[in-house]
Structure 1
Amino acid sequence: MKTIAVLTSGGDAPGMNAAIRAVVRTGLDKGFRVMGVQRGYSGLINGEIFPMDRHSVADIIQRGGTILRTARCAEFKTEEGRKRGANILKTFGIDGLVVIGGDGSFRGAQLLSKLGIATVGLPGTIDNDLPYSDYTIGFDTAINTVLDAINKLRDTSTSHERVSIVEVMGRNCGDIALYAGLAGGAESIIVPEKGYNQDELCRTILEGKLRGKMHNLIILAEGIGGADDLAKKVEGITGIQTRATILGHIQRGGSPTCMDRVLASRMGYRAVELLQEGKSSKVVGIKDGKIFDMDIDDALAVERHFDEKLYEIANALSY
């Protein structure tokens, strides 16, 4: 193996640049020629590939987003599209590819490996929804972004004695809501894994008011419903002024935390080691603080288990 490449795919996540930096500089250190693929699988199909050196990744470890850009690509989901992508890589003399993204990106890497391209996946997604790994690149930054917003909203909610409903990302995975809600002292955390009872929620808010609570903070994962609708229902039932805040894509941006920078660097280094060892169709993860790798097939088959204990703790500490 002489030439490797790196791409980012799917939704961006803070720490992707740190991972790109790690792949490029580790690859160069180990004697590889390193190429960058712009705009994910879409750019791969279109041949948007360029050589990278140490200067290419200078001063990016602290930046959010991805310098390689990212895009969705419906064409790559077709067999013809994947064959075209593999042929493009071979045309550029690329033997191995590091893919940074979520489960959809991993499936693309898995299929490319069947076409003769050595692939390694790094988990880059703020949702923390790849259960084979304890944490994904970008998750820690996202929950700290949410926490900062919660801290600011608490001030104004207390001043106006309001209920504040904060909608965070997490269509099928409630980890952002759970971790940020616990750290932010939320009175209620609503996640798709557990659901909620509207009457019980409103009763809890009214009981809190009787005890002298000045505000109520509810963290809502987007996968279970809209914050605006819930705010109208809560205000209609309780009579307490209720405001919704949808954080949206602010959670994807921002300078990555120390944890995300270190995690991305460790994972990127290991990805290049795997390619050097001649491995393919692998993913890198972290378990109990240690970096490990496993087959993409096995990783995608891991069943996700919601952290019931953490949810129990959050509920116990909420009042």
Structure 2
Amino acid sequence: MKKIGVLTSGGDSPGMNAAIRAVVRKGMYHDLEVYGIYNGYQGLINGNIEKLELGSVGDIIHRGGTILRSARLPEFANLEVQKKGFAKLKEFGLDGLVVIGGDGSYRGANALTKLGFPCIGIPGTIDNDIAGTDFTIGFDTAINTVIDAVDKIRDTASSHERTFVIEVMGRNAGDIALWSGLAGGAETILIPEENQSMDEIVDRLTRGKERGKKHSIIIVAEGVTSGVKFAEEIQKRLDISVRVSVLGHMQRGGSPTVTDRVLASRLAAHAVELLLEGKGGRAVGIQKNQIVDHAIADIVDQPHSIDSKMFNLSKELSI
């Protein structure tokens, strides 16, 4: 193992730059040459690959986004396109690859490993929907961004005696909604993994109104429905003032928290260590605060799950 590459793929997440920095510096500490692949798998196919130096990753640990930029390439699911990527890696003389991203990124890394090129996956996504790890890089920053918005919205909800529906990201996973909803004292949290009837939600709002509650916060994960549609359903049933806030892509931005910077650094260092040991086809993660790794082929087929006890607790506390 003399030369390794690193790329970021899919949606960006705060902490990706910290992971890139750690890959480069850990690699150089062990006398490896590290090459940055720009614009994800699309950049790999196009040969957008450059050698990185220590200065290349200076002053980036605190920056959101990714200096390597990102792009989606659905065509990478095609074997012939994967072979083109494999050929480019060989053309540049690389011996291993670190892929930072989510589910789609992992599938690409798994495909390259099957072709004989050792890849290590690092979970970089705000959605926290990757198996084999308790947390993904960017999740902590994202939920802190959400809770900051929720706190501000609660101020105006209280002032105007309104119910606010706040739509958050997460694709088909509810972790952002669940964690921010519990931390923000939301009266109702809607996530894809748990069903709640509209009758149940309306009853909860009605009980609150009857005891004199003047405002409510409802967190809706985008994988359930849109915040606008949900607010319309509430107003069909209740005579209350409802407003909607869709937080959108602001959840992906911003300087990463301490938690995300440290997590990114630890995971990236372990990824480089695995390549130095001659191992590929692994996905790194953190479980019970210990850095672990699993076969990436197993990770991509595991469905996402949430902490059902935490969800039940949120309902108990919102009576």
TM-score range, shorter chain: over 0.9
1:201 aligns with 2:201: yes
1:299 corresponds to which residue? 299
Deviation at 1:213, TM superposition (A): 1.0
2:178 corresponds to which residue? 178
Deviation at 1:131, TM superposition (A): 2.1
Deviations 1:176-217 (A, max 9, x none): 000000000000001111122112212211210111112100
Further displaced range: 283-292 or 73-82: 73-82
CA contact (8 A) 2:193 2:305 kept: no
Equivalent residues in 2 for 1:151-190 (5 A)? 151-190=151-190
TM-score of the two chains, using structure 1 as the length reference: 0.98
| Structure 1 Cα separation of the partners of residues 185 and 113 of structure 2 | 45
TM-score of the two chains, using structure 2 as the length reference: 0.98
2:211 corresponds to which residue? 211
| Structure 2 Cα separation of the partners of residues 84 and 225 of structure 1 | 39
CA contact (8 A) 1:7 1:37 kept: yes
| Structure 2 Cα separation of the partners of residues 71 and 287 of structure 1 | 29
| Structure 1 Cα separation of the partners of residues 120 and 171 of structure 2 | 26
2:263 corresponds to which residue? 263
| Structure 2 Cα separation of the partners of residues 4 and 83 of structure 1 | 18
2:272 corresponds to which residue? 272
What residue ranges of structure 2 are gaps of 5+ in the alignment?
none
Further displaced range: 70-79 or 126-135: 70-79
Q: Percent identity?
A: 55
Equivalent residues in 2 for 1:1-319 (5 A)? 1-319=1-319
Deviation at 1:303, TM superposition (A): 4.0
CA root-mean-square deviation:
1.0
Q: Tell me the SS of whatever aligns to 2:223.
A: helix
Q: Which letter does structure 1 place at the counterpart of 2:149?
A: A
Q: Which letter does structure 1 place at the counterpart of 2:6?
A: V
Deviation at 1:119, TM superposition (A): 0.5
Deviations 1:207-254 (A, max 9, x none): 101111121000000111111111122123211100111111111111
CA contact (8 A) 2:12 2:125 kept: yes
| Structure 2 Cα separation of the partners of residues 8 and 167 of structure 1 | 26
| Structure 2 Cα separation of the partners of residues 46 and 22 of structure 1 | 25
Q: Which letter does structure 1 place at the counterpart of 2:26?
A: T
Q: Which letter does structure 2 place at the counterpart of 1:26?
A: K
Q: Which letter does structure 2 place at the counterpart of 1:129?
A: D
| Structure 1 Cα separation of the partners of residues 100 and 76 of structure 2 | 16
CA contact (8 A) 1:165 1:231 kept: yes
| Structure 2 Cα separation of the partners of residues 100 and 108 of structure 1 | 11
| Structure 2 Cα separation of the partners of residues 236 and 35 of structure 1 | 57
What residue ranges of structure 1 are gaps of 5+ in the alignment?
none
